[in-house]
Structure 1
């Protein structure tokens, strides 16, 4: 019907009075014939009545015919506009790199663009009967979310894998929005699928690395962070909570929140050291790049833990320090071992000093004791050479033996 109307459009447009003229000619012939017939049979009065009837009928016919012609012309023009609009839409949809599709108001797919056919290797008829195009892991969820969006008249947004013509499933971001008519009713849904496969794999790899980093940081008790020097806001990894004794994980904290749990004896030292380093890192002050400090923090259970902080500055285009980026790690065990080593060293030094003093004492005592003992032994030797009774000799000899034994000891 549309093709026939399209062929008739030029004739109706250039010969808009052709049909009325033909009708007038036919009417004139009919009037002549009827006039001749009725006047011969019934006289002129009948002829006037018939003539009026025919004039009325003719006018009504011309009016209705004109309406029909205008209606047909409007339909043809509307169809031409629709066809041109569809042509523009197809051109635009085929020009984008995305997979474009449309559905009716019930969610049934009615259109795929050329890029869809190139990607899947399937035309429209093949695509709508091929559920395997969507990966089985996301297929059921995709249908659930799609028809829920259609039912609730809300935008559709989901990531799932689509099968390429070579059989590879690639990740796509699918989005669809409803199209409304002038009355507010949904007429169609317009959707597209954007290939995000490479970015998805990069994100998955990044997430894997982040998880591995968090596990490594948790095992080694090391946290990484970055401080905005203008706001004092710290962006950090979750392990920072464990190091400073916080219960809840907050991705960003203010620098003063961390200083609040620093030991009272160390808090001002840390604050002044940080401020001094930021000042010294300015180019006009020498541009010091690195920073390191050790300090204590007090956990809610009042236990004391040692932390070490190392950092480097990040400059903006003007050379100003915009960020401080670094790491904080727990050195409590190291400090405990160092303290134990210091205590051991102190005890060893004390033992060596005690031994030295003992040796000096014994040396002094040996000298002081040997002198009189040598005199006693000499006199005992002379005594033994004199005439002594057996009992006297035994006593003197016992003194000599005891003296020699004492000299051996000292």
Structure 2
């Protein structure tokens, strides 16, 4: 039998060229052509010896097949117009040949693979052995006595939170036993257990903390799992480890999805899942401790019941005959002669308010066959008339027929404790009443930082329960951007004992965030050791908003970070000085320290190009006279003699008397339009990819033609070498190109390309109408058109000034898509330009040539209206 060589290639000419190549150079070669992964799998079932894989084929990527080949130990090579960066990281050790491929390289690979197996490929590294044994892990799991227990609200609510936060259809609390996985709680499965041999969680417990599988079909560990290949066809998994304090994994809190998630979980989702896992372990530990305490209490019950300061023995067979110890007599204020007092004497000593209750309790205990007796009550001591609190603990003994015969009790004077408890209760009641009426959030923690108290304001604001808030339950309420800052400050305070203060945002029960200032101080004992932390969270949201309204520096900084090189400044008109940041100082060539402390406005003018100084001065003069918003575009000269373009924008604010007093603004370096270049880079990458495929196609055509005409073989060889040279040249000029994700709909492409031009306000760009699917070819032409129009809008149209808006509306008109581009509230339009630029000409030709459509311009005075028409069918290609 010959060597079966699988060739996965959906370009027919390229596939035939590879087939002829194998037949000519590999002895006994039996090429098997497949145009899709499905066809390749059919060939694989019949057996193959080596495989040549294109990355992109008609039914998707070839990576799932590559994982199957590697699992089966069948050597293979990627031969593709893609880039190595497009290959998953765990497949990049596989040999990779760029199209148009060097013939000898491919022949050498196949020959070596057939002779020796896959060259240069190593199996994925094995997971390290865990530091625990399976017996230890199972013992730890069973110690919680949780397996096969009924559903509980806590765990059900926890899975609901996991599913909600992670937006997943399936969420479970999963415990991994030796042969099965038991679901303490589940959403979306409908079963309580499954065999462990199909469990993804069985792999998760070998990881640390969070285990995420973005696409199970691309992971060799799960690509063949029946729950992945068959129902319910799980494609995404994320599990947070349930780990005992001793470091033994017992299960996970996990979410699953039927769709892959290439980006995995967000930071907030990941932290929430980890927090829920910690909550589960905290709950399990709490149950375990509670069970241990119950057992301990049972062991100590007898000692606790008969321990005390004064003892007494009552003979129940002779009508409650008492025998009091000396210490008992002392506690009750009785003389030694009262050792044998009667039952009636004891009843008479009881406080009138407690007498009936206590005597009834005593008699009922004796008559009911109770084994023990416990009561707290007041007495009036005969010796001094004092009212004292007594704690009475007793054991009642019975004979063989269950008749009570003797009661042995211990009495303790608990008056001081009662007074202290009453004082504490009263103090706590008053304190809680005060704290619950405070507008601030008040909280306390143990010395280790474990939160154990929040006042009413916390629960009203967050909507969380006491159980959800205890310990680190406050963390999910924090804004994700503030968590690390808050944790760093809190960790420092816990380590040093220093006062704690930090600003952060809390999420309210309706989902909105508000700013708070958190402060805490430590309560120390006589030795200086921290006993507790007392803290408050003060709502400063309105103050923050007020500061934002009075000072736009924060907003300008945000715009600067988004838009690129931006400097911010505030011109104080009455003082005649400007406070500027380092970026502004660098733009205008002045000392950053002087600019930060306030520099005369005149210091900025020398850097302004002489031809632009008059219009900059005019703008500032107008702003100082009338207020309002102003903008000017001008040039600056750098210290190296370079000319750079700057756009300066500002809003002059008025004082209480309506006089201009303060002019905050920003200066933007618009020389380097990175975002435009990035858009072009995306288009260029698509063109480059298509050029590479074109080279492969042409090479295949040349090879077929040469076989039909042997006399042209030399010419064909020379032509192929030239084409290969052009292909390598194309790669050379694009060395750092990375893979870009192709847009699928017209609206998606519009948002991707145009949102950056209107990112300073959600109201500057409006997109409405019917959406359509688009292909990679039409995306190129559309990108050229949209990019050209957006660039013109930023330079000359509605997006060139603040307040300008861009409206795009799409509709289906029969077999045609109509896109209307309207610019509003921009500079007045004088009419059609005198000449068309290269970009406009290129856009028009792209619409006509690639899309079979047309574009028309309507130069209205209120703003350009552009109409694009293209066949819907052409857009899908």
The alpha carbon displacement at 1:125 in A equals 4.9
* Contact in 2 for aligned 1:214/1:237 (Cα 8 Å): no
Question: Equivalent of 1:98, from 310, 324, 327?
Answer: 310
Deviations 1:153-179 (A, max 9, x none): 231111100110222221000111023
Describe how 1:79-158 pairs up with structure 2 within 5 A. Answer: 97-98=309-310, 100-105=312-317, 108-117=320-329, 119-121=332-334, 123=338, 124-125=340-341, 128-129=344-345, 131-150=347-366, 151-158=368-375
What's 1:405 paired with? Answer: none
Are 1:210 and 2:428 counterparts? yes
Whole-Å separation in 2 of the counterparts to 1:142 and 1:168: 19
Whole-Å separation in 1 of the counterparts to 2:458 and 2:492: 26
Tell me the TM-score normalized by structure 2. 0.25
Describe how 1:128-207 pairs up with structure 2 within 5 A. Answer: 128-129=344-345, 131-150=347-366, 151-165=368-382, 166-180=384-398, 186-207=404-425
Stretches of structure 1 that go unaligned for 5 or more consecutive residues are 1-95, 282-287, 359-410
What's 1:7 paired with? Answer: none
* Contact in 1 for aligned 2:503/2:518 (Cα 8 Å): yes
What's 2:465 paired with? Answer: 248
Are 1:264 and 2:480 counterparts? yes
Whole-Å separation in 2 of the counterparts to 1:344 and 1:105: 88
Look up the SS of the partner of 2:312 in the other structure. Answer: strand
What's 1:235 paired with? Answer: 452
Q: How many residues are treated as equivalent by the alignment?
A: 249
What's 1:328 paired with? Answer: 536
Relative to total residues, which structure has the larger helix share, 1 or 2?
Answer: 1
Whole-Å separation in 2 of the counterparts to 1:241 and 1:139: 44
* Contact in 2 for aligned 1:133/1:162 (Cα 8 Å): yes
The alpha carbon displacement at 1:309 in A equals 2.1
Are 1:309 and 2:518 counterparts? yes
The alpha carbon displacement at 1:139 in A equals 1.6
CA change 1:271–1:120 in 2 (3 A) is: closer
The alpha carbon displacement at 1:188 in A equals 0.6
What's 2:443 paired with? Answer: 224
CA change 1:116–1:345 in 2 (3 A) is: same
CA change 1:126–1:120 in 2 (3 A) is: farther
CA change 1:345–1:269 in 2 (3 A) is: closer
CA change 1:246–1:147 in 2 (3 A) is: farther
The alpha carbon displacement at 1:104 in A equals 0.8
Question: Equivalent of 1:352, from 651, 655, 658?
Answer: 655
The alpha carbon displacement at 1:226 in A equals 1.4
- The more displaced of 152-161 and 124-133 is 124-133
Whole-Å separation in 1 of the counterparts to 2:428 and 2:475: 27
CA change 1:106–1:236 in 2 (3 A) is: farther
* Contact in 2 for aligned 1:263/1:295 (Cα 8 Å): yes
Look up the SS of the partner of 2:487 in the other structure. Answer: helix
CA change 1:312–1:111 in 2 (3 A) is: same
The alpha carbon displacement at 1:295 in A equals 1.4
Look up the SS of the partner of 1:178 in the other structure. Answer: strand
* Contact in 2 for aligned 1:170/1:195 (Cα 8 Å): yes
The alpha carbon displacement at 1:234 in A equals 2.2
Deviations 1:272-298 (A, max 9, x none): 33345556x3xxxxxx72221121211
Q: CA RMSD in A?
A: 4.0
Whole-Å separation in 2 of the counterparts to 1:339 and 1:276: 29
* Contact in 2 for aligned 1:159/1:172 (Cα 8 Å): yes
Whole-Å separation in 2 of the counterparts to 1:127 and 1:186: 16
Are 1:339 and 2:545 counterparts? yes
CA change 1:352–1:192 in 2 (3 A) is: closer
Higher relative contact order (CA 8 A, sep 6+): 1
What's 2:120 paired with? Answer: none
Look up the SS of the partner of 1:254 in the other structure. Answer: coil
- The more displaced of 111-120 and 220-229 is 111-120
Rg bigger for which structure? 1
CA change 1:277–1:97 in 2 (3 A) is: closer
